[in-house]
Copies of this chain bind each other. A is one copy, B any other.
Amino acid sequence: MALDAWSIQIDRTSKLFNSLSDDQLKQEVASGRNSGTYLLGHLAAVHDALFPLLGVGEKLYPQLEEVFIKNPDKSGLPKPDTKTLRQCWMDVNKKLDQHFNSFTAEEWFQKHNAVSTSDFEKEPHRNRLNVLLNRTAHLANHLGQLTFLKEK
């Protein structure tokens, strides 16, 4: 069910990105706030970080972190073009999906890599499933903002 909730948000977000032109994505979602392009890169980067966090491999696009996580939209840093970012978003989520669908129930309850073994013994909820729930909320949060890029 948690995986369904994740997939629903991913599908809605992908549909929204696909429905928006590059020019629409360049707009700020609200006056003075992040652009759609920044949020596209931000979400791709945050999801890309799930591979090492969940212990299922390396990031596909480690270069996104500096621009889209460590720095804000108006950092002045050069950004990849929108076409590239769209591809990153799709690649990352497709590969995550493969891992997520292969996890057994037991594997979902294993610890993630940002918690030590001793802390995990005390706090067993700091597991992969919890990361999934948390990132679903994060995605939903930004999806709500991205919908403002649609025509009224």
Interface residues of A (CB under 8 A from B): 1-2, 4-5, 8-9, 29-33, 125, 127, 129-130, 133-134, 136-138, 140-145, 148, 152
Contacts and interface: CB of A to CB of B under 8 A. Distances in A.
Contacts of A4: 125, 130, 133
A132 B143 CA distance: 19
B5 A133 contact: yes
A138 B139 CA distance: 11
The quantity of this chain's copies bound in the complex is 2
B148 A33 contact: yes
**Dominant secondary structure at the A interface:** helix
Contacts of A130: 1, 4-5
Given A1-B125, A1-B129, A144-B145, A137 B29 contact: no
Contact of A137 (B33, B136, B145, B148): B136
Contacts of A142: 144
Contact of A152 (B2, B32, B129): B32
